Structure 1
Amino acid sequence: MKHGTSLRKVDAAAGLPVSIADVRAAHERIRGSIVRTPTLRSHTLSQLAGAEIWLKFENLQFTAAYKERGALNCLLSLSPDQRAKGVIAASAGNHAQGLAYHGARLGVPVTIVMPVPTPIIKVTQTEGHGATVVLHGEKFEEAYAHARRLEAEQGLTFVHPFDDPSIIAGQGTVALEMLEDAPEIDTLVVPIGGGGLISGMGTVARGIRPGIGLIGVQAELYPSMYDLVKDAALPCDGDTLAEGIAVKEPGALTRRFVEALVDDVLLVSERSLEQAVSLLVQIEKTVVEGAGAAGLAAVLDHKEMFAGRKVGLILTGGNMDTRLLANVLLRDLARSGRLARLRIQLQDRPGTLFQVSRIFDEQSVNILELAHQRIFTNLPAKGLSLDVECETRDAAHLERLIGALRDAGYEVSPVELA
């Protein structure tokens, strides 16, 4: 991050359609109806990262995501006629819920078009906020096209999730609050999907502190803005934990902001996203969805880049399916050696299982689950495979157990995670 480069970007910001004055006006407009979420320094994450880490807890908004800010600013910017006719959006995520919630609060009819395979919990949550949900198409692109048709047919106002000046201005209010509450922050690390959040925050950052570092983060599986900035051609597809930033095509408007304001864009792996979600639960006792943990994942993956800096991270949302969260936490325990599945080859004779379990007892390892396999195995007919799921204190404790089993003559292999 070269501060000279950052300073030159201030000049580029002058020609953009959203200014810091627009963001300040948006903040005045919405501040009474959104949560001014805390910006807090994390002592433990700072130690882990080798940098001073500040977290803004946007997962504490009523709908558990920052998207409320832009949605509300857009609704409050409508004419009386537009508000009476209503608005429409295509979204299966936090934009839908933010728009639905504030639309109901303001008496503005809201229609949300979602792809047919959208999880039922997202449909019911959006309907619960008072919106009309229309299910159409198998993919987001089809839902989006249908929403634009309904917009024209019914005279509704389309509210884009990111490619709209009023949305960008609303999202920028996150940075206004952060830099007021923690003025020492010298680097902002912001997740990028369509680019609305980093566009608004970048506008504020360059306006308040021209030399601030501004870094975007995308999931490796969806590097759409990264491709644009780096002139690359990485594929955009796959099942990412960070579905909130899984956008295949950057906004026509937001790409201008990113090119003008942002210093760099980093990519993070699925494994790094899982680790970041787990760390935030364990250390900060807060649930953050995959997209919201992307900033922390990037800092931990690129420690040398952020060493010694005062880094602001936005926990953008907390809408994560509880079963998926459980899987992520358990997988992280397995990777750290605290949970393990060991495959042990045994001879099929009385007392063998007792002898094995005695070693687990001697090593003070808790057995959670056992599975014998006699039929579907390539072992001889008198052999069997025993899978043992167990709980240990840490990776070193697990290694001592494996060593003790091998010393006793057993062939042992850990069942590894991807």
Structure 2
Amino acid sequence: MNGHNGTDQYAASLSSIKEARERIKSYIQKTPVVTSETLNSMAGRGLLFKCECFQKGGAFKFRGASNAVFSLDEQQADKGVITHSSGNHAAALALAAKLRGIPAYIVIPSNAPKCKVDNVIRYGGQVIWCEPTMQSRQSTAAKVQQDTGAVLIHPYNDGRIISGQGTILLELLEQFSDIDTIIAPISGELSLGGGLISGVALAAKSIKPSIRVLAAEPVGANDAALSKENGRIVILPEVNTIADGLRATLGDLTW
């Protein structure tokens, strides 16, 4: 599950997504799918919403975090896990680590939303503050990892995370098998980074190749669209969106 840039081997597969589902099924919530006649009328088509807001930790991130944490062997897990995140991945990893009974070291930039920091603390994560730059996040995480021996669980650029997020699609197609189009969010150093869309697309195209998969991102943070246009990862000098989880760039594995 360790795909590398420049090869045609992906970091995840339908097989790894199915394995993830078996691994995490006793920890995650099976989330509901809802519809709205008002929105259906406005859109002129039948819309379904997979409500991962009802997932443990409040977001789909718990799927990937749980898969990563519970795939560690005992020797690895004994040292705990570490990540750098200001968003839902931070809380998800803290909760998954709590369920396994291991430490979670969470490097968080000083400008992170208070509600998200509170979630990390509530789930037992040990918060380590850093400056609000990617360089500071990475260097601080590297220092903590060196000091503790904890396993780094990247917010999105990790096959275990991609596989865990892909379990959403397995669940969704069991709930509604005749879906023809899926729209999923993409982007963000702070949160998504393509982990969700990668897992969803891999599973969807493997199970039902006719499904159309669309990736949605804010116009003011359209690095993924520009990356697709240019055939390489494009990093925007600045972004303009209130969606703090949809800011910044893709990883080489999600790319």
TM-score (norm 2): 0.90
- Give me the whole-angstrom Cα distance separating, in 2, the residues matched to 1:91 and 1:144: 10
Q: Which runs of 5+ in 1 are unaligned?
A: 1-13, 256-418
Query: What residue number does 1:249 align with?
Result: 249
SS class of match (1:53): coil
Greater displacement, 19-28 / 64-73: 19-28
For 1:38 and 1:79, how far apart are their aligned partners in 2?
A: 32
CA distance in 2, matches of 1:25, 1:235: 35
1:120-148 Cα offsets, whole Å, 9 max, x none, are 33222211110100011132441232102
Between Structure 1 and Structure 2, whose CA radius of gyration is higher? 1
CA–CA distance in 1 between the matches of 2:30 and 2:198? 20
Are the counterparts in 1 of residues 98 and 123 from structure 2 also a CA contact under 8 Å? yes
Same amino acid, percent of matched pairs: 34
Deviation at 1:239, TM superposition (A): 4.4
SS in 1 for 2:221: coil
Query: What residue number does 1:186 align with?
Result: 180
> For 2:217, what is the secondary structure of its paired residue?
strand
Q: Secondary structure at the match of 1:240?
A: coil
Alpha-carbon deviations, 1:58-97, whole Å to 9, x = none?
0001211000000000001111011110010001110000
Q: 1:209 matched to which residue of 2?
A: 208
Specify whether residues 236 and 59 from structure 1 end up closer, same or farther in structure 2 by C-alpha distance, changes over 3 A only: farther
Describe how 1:57-76 pairs up with structure 2 within 5 A. Answer: 57-76=51-70
> 1:2-57 CA deviation, whole Å, 9 max, x = no partner?
xxxxxxxxxxxx84231111111101111111110012233221111111101100
Query: What CA distance in whole angstroms lies between the structure 1 residues aligned with 2:107 and 2:45?
Result: 42
1:252 maps to a residue whose letter is D
In structure 2, what is the equivalent of residue 227 of structure 1? 226
Q: CA deviation at 1:234?
A: 8.5
Q: Show the counterpart of 1:170.
A: 164
Q: Give secondary structure in 1 for the equivalent of 2:220.
A: coil
Using the alignment, how far apart are the partners of 1:120 and 1:234 within structure 2?
27
The letter of the residue matching 1:200 is G
| 2:39 partner amino acid | L
Equivalent of residue 157 in structure 1, options 144, 151, 156: 151
Q: 1:48 aligns with which of 42, 47, 52?
A: 42
CA distances 1:330-385 after superposition (whole Å, capped 9, x unpaired): xxxxxxxxxxxxxxxxxxxxxxxxxxxxxxxxxxxxxxxxxxxxxxxxxxxxxxxx
1:254 aligns to what SS in structure 2? coil
Measure how far apart 1:226 and its partner are. 1.2
- Please state whether the residue corresponding to 1:18 is helix, strand or coil: coil
**8 Å contact kept, 1:223–1:236:** no
Provide the rounded CA distance (Å) in 1 between the counterparts of 2:20 and 2:205. 17
Q: C-alpha distance in 1, partners of 2:112/2:28?
A: 27
Distance 2:221 2:172 in 1: 27
Say how many residue pairs are matched: 241
Structure 1 residues 115 and 17 mapped into 2: Cα distance closer, same or farther (>3 Å)? Answer: closer
> For residue 284 of structure 1, what is the aligned residue in structure 2?
none
Tell me the SS of whatever aligns to 1:253.
coil
Name the SS of the counterpart of 2:29 in structure 1. Answer: coil
AA of the residue aligned to 1:119: P
Compute the RMSD of aligned alpha carbons: 1.7
Cα deviation, 1:172-197, whole Å, max 9, x if unaligned, reads 00011111111111001110021000
**8 Å Cα contact 2:11-2:158 kept in structure 1:** no
Residue 93 of structure 1: aligned partner: 87
Look up the SS of the partner of 2:75 in the other structure: helix
Q: State how 1:286-305 maps to structure 2 within 5 Å.
A: none
Moved over 6 A (4+): none
Letter in 1 for 2:243: A
Equivalent position of 1:33 in the other structure: 27
CA 126–67 in structure 1, closer or farther in 2 if over 3 Å, else same: same
Aligned to 1:107: 101
Deviation at 1:230, TM superposition (A): 1.1
| Pairing 1:136–2:130 present | yes
SS at match of 1:63: helix
Instruction: Describe how 1:375-394 pairs up with structure 2 within 5 A.
Output: none
TM-score (norm: length of structure 1)? 0.55
Query: Structure 1 residue 120 and structure 2 residue 111: aligned?
Result: no
* Contact residue 222 and residue 236 of structure 1 kept, 8 A: no
Does the CA contact (< 8 Å) of 2:63 and 2:164 recur in 1? yes
Alignment match, 2:195: 196
Deviation at 1:110, TM superposition (A): 0.1
- Distance change >3 Å, CA 222–CA 86, structure 1 → 2: same
